[in-house]
Structure 1
Amino acid sequence: MDTKSVANTAPRYFVPADSIWPIVGAVALFLIAVGAGLTVQYKDLGGAGSIFGKWVLAIGFIILLYMFAGWFRHVVMESLSGLYSEQIARSFRQGMSWFIFSEVMFFGAFFGALFYARILAVPWLGGADNNAMTHEFLWPAFEAIWPLTTTPAGDTTQAMSWKGLPLMNTIILLTSSITLHMAHVSLEKNHRMALVVWLELTIVLAGFFLFYQAEEYVHAYQDLGLTLQSGIYGNTFFLLTGFHGMHVLLGTIFLIVLLARIAYDHFTPNDHFAFQAGSWYWHFVDVVWLCLFVFVYVI
């Protein structure tokens, strides 16, 4: 076989054209960092510095959203134009897999902080491991129990029960995983009507989850006195549930974009990686919530 024949049968590799989107994203992240820094620095002082920081932060987020919309639209157009090969499809799958792995590490850090506080720090302050003098010196009335509902300043709060809204949200998210799986199966079988119905149900369930989480936060602040400033328990509770809620919001936007793309017939039973990526992300978010429900609410 000559060189020309080998070249004709070799896998095609797509090299994208020059793009402005990376520099747009860099500008957006720079403005977000500067705006956040100014907002925090002048939070207690008020005045023009704080207002300016908030405006810079808002502009940064708007540019970031513009970058996402433009870059994703560019990628979609390239895909629909037939420019991508099987090698590119593998690259997308690997990229999404590494992204989810990075998210696992992200939440792993917060769960690690929670376990450190519960298993090591709180018992140690309570006199464990022959450390009887520590709590007597730092906080004589300290009780090594979890959740830690009394702060060193003497402020008290109440723990969030796993019953009620948290249990309801757990059922909602588990149900949404089932409906999204049914939507995926419908896409693979080319059942368009069933695909749309199942995906719309998933989006509705996601909306209910976000609504009830907002209700839970209102209940925590107004009725339980549980805030972000409520010691280590309040910190870990709101950081873990808050970041998870942010991921649910992003996942919901992802699903809405997928629904819009389905309306334009962008997917086929054999070519629908974007839908697979959205499904992977949503199931990951559901697994994280199950861990949250067990370790933050129940145990």
Structure 2
Amino acid sequence: MATHSNNQYYVPHGSIYPAIISIGLLSLASGFVFSIANNQSADLAYLQTPGKWMMVFGALLILSMVFKWMGSVITESLTGSYKSWEDKSFRIGMIVFICSELAFFAAFFGALFYMRVLSVPELASFDPLFTPYKDFLGTWPSIGPGGAVLGAEYVPDPKFMAMGWSGLPAINTALLLSSGATITWAHWALIRNNRKQLILGMALTVALGVTFLICQGLEYHHAYTEMGLTLGSGAYGASFFMLTGFHGFHVLLGTLMLIVILLRCIKGHFTPEHHFGFEGVAWYWHFVDVVWLGLFIFVYIL
């Protein structure tokens, strides 16, 4: 049984969810290894089909357990198990989590700056007698020297084009900035206990997040099919897809969280006095917005 009193921090009872999620993670990872085994050895090709099913099983197991686990947390919140100090600890935990996410993206931005400012110009500055890549240019965006043959002349992909800031990237920027405004509007409505505006603001935020993901998918398709811009397009392609791809993954997770919060708003789970679940997701969404602004400036414009 869970223990709790007015003078005691809430301690939930033992849960089997972490153990089952661990099984799901093991199945997912093992299935991935088995599914690519035929690329390494033809003798292991028979593992590919069961490997794919293991991945499906692991993913479904993880999703179902996360759904059940989060349902238990919501039930604990609605039944009054969380008091002021639990609320405070949740806020501290969310702040620490966002700081860890900030460090994650800072590492990728650091790699981007290192390539642009140091490594690419340094490769181009080598004496032609000593560099293995002839005629390599130190300009950005750079798709080399990955496309060059060692010791041969550097010839860039003739179809390669850098992604500009106009078009879909500009539209996505407008979408995310607008979503930041709509979720803030929804928060104000929650504080005023205006459920109609709260639900409308959250619905608009979800719609903007989904539209962003659709636009990014279209952008990736355009990059691969018409611009010659792929994950293997040297330093620029790798940094572009790693930064925008990880950000898109965070937008996907944030959109899923927004959908859950929208459903909870419809059910009336939040009050003006107690709504950290809403605030935590709003903080995360604003963080995603800020990261995109950095991407838009340093990846698309500069």
Indicate the residue corresponding to 1:204 in structure 2.
207
- Tell me which moved more, 38-47 or 149-158: 38-47
* Partner secondary structure for residue 138 of structure 1: coil
Task: State the match for 1:101 in structure 2.
Answer: 99
Name the CA distance, whole Å, in 1 between partners of 2:6 and 2:215. 54
Q: Which range is displaced more, 281-290 or 53-62?
A: 53-62
1:283 to 279, 283, 286: 286
1:82 is paired with a residue whose SS is coil
Looking at structure 1, the residues matched to 58 and 6 of structure 2 have their Cα atoms a distance apart, in angstroms, of 43
Shift of 1:113: 1.4
| Matched AA of 1:71 | W
TM-score, scaled to structure 1: 0.91
Name the CA distance, whole Å, in 2 between partners of 1:226 and 1:174: 26
Structure 1 portions without partners, runs of 5+: 1-8
* Cross-structure match for 1:56: 54
Instruction: State how many pairs are aligned.
Output: 287
Change (3 A) 1:70 1:43: farther
Residue of structure 1 in register with 2:181 after alignment: 178
CA distance in 1, matches of 2:104, 2:36: 23
Query: Is 2:265 aligned against 1:271?
Result: no
Equivalent position to 2:296, from 265, 289, 293: 293
Secondary structure class of the residue paired with 1:163? coil
- Aligned 1:1-299 pairs, distance under 5 A: 11-43=7-39, 47-127=45-125, 132-133=126-127, 136-150=130-144, 151-153=147-149, 154-156=155-157, 157-299=160-302
Q: Distance in 1 between matches of 2:64 and 2:105?
A: 27
Q: 1:117 to 1:51 in 2, by over 3 A?
A: farther
Separation in 1, partners of 2:217, 2:34 = 27
How far off its partner does 1:45 sit? 5.5
Deviation at 1:57?
2.1
The AA in structure 2 aligned to 1:109 is: A
Identity %: 45
**Aligned equivalents of 1:252 and 1:155: distance in 2?**
38
Shift of 1:48: 2.7
Q: Does the C-alpha gap of structure 1 residues 100 and 158 become closer, same or farther in structure 2, counting only changes over 3 Å?
A: same
- Alpha-carbon distance in structure 2 between the residues aligned to 1:172 and 1:75: 31
- One-letter identity of the residue aligned with 1:294: I
Once the two structures are TM-superposed, the CA of residue 165 in structure 1 deviates from its matched residue by 0.5
CA drift at 1:278: 0.7
CA distance in 2, matches of 1:269, 1:36: 45
Amino acid at match of 1:133: D
Greater mean deviation of Cα atoms: 107-116 or 255-264: 107-116
Q: Name the Cα RMSD after superposition.
A: 1.8
Q: TM-score under structure 2 normalisation?
A: 0.90
The one-letter code matched in structure 2 to 1:84 is Y
**Match in the other structure for 2:152:** none
Distance apart, 1:18 and its partner CA: 0.7
Unaligned runs of 5+ in 2: 150-154
Separation in structure 2 between the aligned mates of residue 110 and residue 61 of structure 1, nearest angstrom? 27
Counterpart CA distance in 2 for 1:274 and 1:139 is 54
Residues 1:155 and 1:50: Cα distance change in structure 2 (over 3 Å): farther
Structure 2 counterpart of 1:208, one-letter code: T
Distance 1:42 1:93, change over 3 A: farther
Deviations 1:278-298 (A, max 9, x none): 100100001111111111111
Q: Would the aligned equivalents of 1:125 and 1:135 in 2 still touch at CA under 8 Å?
A: no
Equivalent-residue separation in structure 1 for 2:26 and 2:139 (angstroms): 42
